[in-house]
Amino acid sequence: MQEVLSMTYLWLKAGHIIFMVFWMAGLFMLPRQMIYLHPAAPGSEEAALWAKRMGLLRKIILTPSIIVVWILGLLLAQTLQVWGEGWLHVKLLLVVLLSGFHGYIVAQSRKMAAGERPLSEKQLRMWGEVPGVLLALIVVTVVVFRYM
């Protein structure tokens, strides 16, 4: 029985890491696509092309990945029985912040696809750094603080 639980844990962990990479790739790509859309005239062919690309990124990569990351992450926490550990609370807070960023940047991308320009290119560049900072904090929390 222990062997089955060990294998389940390893498959959950592998899936969690794989989909986390997909999610992060999408979160790095979306602000960049928004920067490329920014100078395009609303209603132009170029704007329509970037809007389509952003929609596909959201539909094919971002939405499925965030769902799978959350499900597998919660299953991992349950498998390990680590609900009371401080590092997990910090990680969950950071992942909630990352999920909030996901929602914010998706909402802004939809506004841009509709022809609005709610953020400047400079703001988009700044927002584009958020996933990297949160990723670094999450990795340090799990890899370093978990074992302290």
The answer on whether 102 is annotated among ligand-binding residues is no
The reply, when asked if residue 91 is annotated as ligand binding, is yes
Specify the long-range contacts of residues 133-136, CB closer than 8 Å, at least 24 apart. 134/94, 134/97, 134/98, 134/101, 135/24, 135/98
Calpha distance 69→18 (Å, rounded):
9
Q: Could you tell me which residues are annotated as the binding site for heme?
A: 16, 91
Q: Could you tell me which residues are annotated as the binding site?
A: 16, 91
